[in-house]
Amino acid sequence: MRTNEISFRIRYSETDQMGVVYHGNYAQYLELARVEWLRLLGISYKSMEEGGIMLPVISLSINYLKPALYDDLITVKVVLNKKPAVRIEFDYEIVNEAGELLATANTVLVFMDMKRKRPTKCPQILLDKLEY
């Protein structure tokens, strides 16, 4: 499974006085999509951390095309484009109910050994779940 979608409604607390989503909230939307993608594979961030692996974001790029508004139902599509090694890279599309593209994004995360505080290879359990 290289792709997943998650939908949710924009909450009032995520917007400014004009009802427009604050730009910083998009990073949380991307994280939500990534976490759920991983969970659908049967792996959680929590279990990875308990196994000594963390996944810090080392690169984040967002292209804002149209504003997301209060009470919009948005869908975040996450796509894993290539087999992870030490890094794992995702592309995203965020659309509203009308199917309008609101934003595109890309994140790169690195698998880190928590004890050594050094990059490490993607856990085999994750590689086994991917269709490569």
| Adjacent-strand bridge partners of 76 | 6, 94
From the candidates 16, 71, 113, 128, give the one annotated as an active-site residue. Answer: 16
**Residues 58, 110 contacting (CB under 8 angstroms):** yes
Q: Which of 123, 113, 25, 23 lies closest to 65 in space, CA to CA?
A: 23
What does the alpha-carbon distance between residue 37 and residue 22 come to, in Å, rounded to a whole number? 24
Q: Is 16 tagged catalytic? A: yes
Alpha carbon distances (Å) from 92 to 27, 68, 84, 104, 118:
11, 15, 16, 5, 27
> Catalytic positions, please?
16
